[in-house]
Amino acid sequence: MSDFVGMTALEMLRGYRAKSFSPVEVAQELLSQIERLNRHVNAFCLIDCETSLAYARESERRYMSGAVKGMLDGVPVAIKDVFYTPMWPTVFGSQTIDPETTLGCTAPSIAALQRHGYTPIGKTTTPEFGWKAVTDNAIDGITRNPWDRDKTSGGSSGGAAVSVSLGLSPLALGVDGGGSIRIPASFCGVVGFKPSFGQIPHWPLGAFSSLAQVGPLASTVQDCALLMNVISEPDHRDIRAIPRREIDFLAVTGEGEFDGIKELRIAYSPSLGYVEPDPIVERRVSDSVMLFQEMGADVVEVAPSIDDSSAVFGCLFSAGIGSTLRGMDSARRQLVEPQLLEVAEQADRISLTGYLDVLKRRDNFVERLQDFFLRYDLLVTPTLPITAFAAGLNMPDKAPGSLWYSWTPYTYPFNLSGHPAISLNCGFSSSGLPIGLQIVGRKYVDEMVLCAAAALQSRQGLKLVLPDWVNFV
């Protein structure tokens, strides 16, 4: 196995600067590994070696001439197939999209990556329009969990999480509208960060424009912070984006020494007051939370006085899907996943007054959460109440509801509220499946979430380890 597989972005940058190896060598090796492994997991829906290597050669020339470009020159980044890339089509996992109509368009995050010299390593698989918390679609098939290929990767950024988990790319770009970064990060054992709403410019605004946020996936919190420095650059096309905050997210994560943790008041809630997590999930998360206490933080177990917000989220989610599909003719609608059509039909039954009432209930929910964060700096929960379930299913056995968000109760509330939230691995189940821990912070204090997550990851000492099967295929 090559030294480049599983190498972090920061390690690559140090090697490039020292001329120990080149962006071309890295890209060639990762593309070779993608070719070897992708058929087993379906992380990538588009692989274009010629284009990726052309970017890598340009980067190599810049390093040779001393004209390094930005913060990510030569670092491979995997791109979820919901971001417009000028050289590659973007079809959102849907047969309803004409690929040719998307060429030449550039999303804000892709424009920022271009300014910083990245190497695009491929596009990653997503469910149709990113609508659910597992990853499969009629074009590409099922994306599988690298720790057990009979299990789901989670979604909707499932391909992105798998690419990082298998060391096929040090960085990946995702979008999180209800947990779509954090859910697959938890199931696949990597780090996934949903920044505060508006922190990262995104365009065009999709079905979940009032809920969704662009964010990074990586094997380390520091690599996530590095990518945050790049994609948080301003772009006028996102009318919801907040003014850029001049914060070096990488600098605040430090090098393993985090004295600021001693000053934090951390609320730990294994249930949020209404969730029953699997006992092994609760045990692993609880053990990790105690590491914060060992580092000097004031950790208090609480049940936040916030209501179950699933009905509010469900209404906004259905309305977004309905809006996306409403303009499709009957021929295209026949190509859409049947359950997605059912969700869109639910939106047709939402009255205007009912929708306005939901917006008011959302405001009340956010207000109560804001009050909670006046008393605590951070909230820690499991990322999910379960480990990964069978691939090819939208729902686990005995799910409490009929739609995906019924089994992801810890993630979507913070899309409703816009608070920053990160998932990182805190151990494994007895069957070897990853378990995620979620840290939520005050709105627009993303750096505190990253700092705390980096401190915890450093104290845990957990490194990216590749599953055994990759050595035998």
Give the active site residue among 94, 109, 163, 180: 180
What's the Cα-to-Cα distance from 388 to each of 187, 317, 435, rounded to whole Å?
6, 23, 9
- pLDDT greater than 80 at residue 371: yes
State the pLDDT at residue 271.
94
- Whether 153 is catalytic is no
Residue range 175-200, pLDDT digits in tens: 999 999 999 999 999 999 999 999 99
Q: How confident is the model at residue 256 (pLDDT cuts 50, 70, 90)?
A: low
d(CA 206, CA 156): 14
Q: How confident is the model at residue 244 (pLDDT cuts 50, 70, 90)?
A: confident
Residue range 402-439, pLDDT digits in tens: 899 999 999 999 999 999 999 999 999 999 999 999 99
Give domain 9-310+351-471's CATH number out of 3.90.1300.10, 3.40.50.970, 3.40.630.30, 3.40.630.10: 3.90.1300.10
Residue range 274-323, pLDDT digits in tens: 999 999 999 999 999 999 999 999 999 998 877 889 999 999 999 999 99
d(CA 434, CA 424): 10
d(CA 328, CA 8): 42
User: Taking a C-beta distance cutoff of 8 angstroms, is the pair 1, 466 a contact?
Assistant: yes
- Domain coordinates in residue numbering, the chain: 9-310+351-471
Tell me what the mean pLDDT of segment 145-165 comes to: 98
Query: Which residues is 301 bridged to in the sheet?
Result: 268
Tokens matching residue 367: 């207000």
Give the active site residue among 80, 123, 132, 443: 80
The residues, any chain, with a CB within 8 Å of residue 447's CB and separated by 6 or more, are 247, 249, 252
- pLDDT greater than 80 at residue 207: no
Within 10 angstroms of residue 286's Cβ, the number of other Cβ atoms is 16
Q: How many CA atoms lie within 13 A of 149 on its CB side?
A: 13
Residue at 84: amino acid letter: Y
pTM greater than 0.75: yes
- Whether 156 is catalytic is yes
- The stretches of 385-470 forming alpha helices (DSSP H) are 413-417, 446-460
Question: Does an H or E element contain 215, and which?
Answer: strand 213-218
- Whether 65 is catalytic is no
State the pLDDT at residue 303.
85
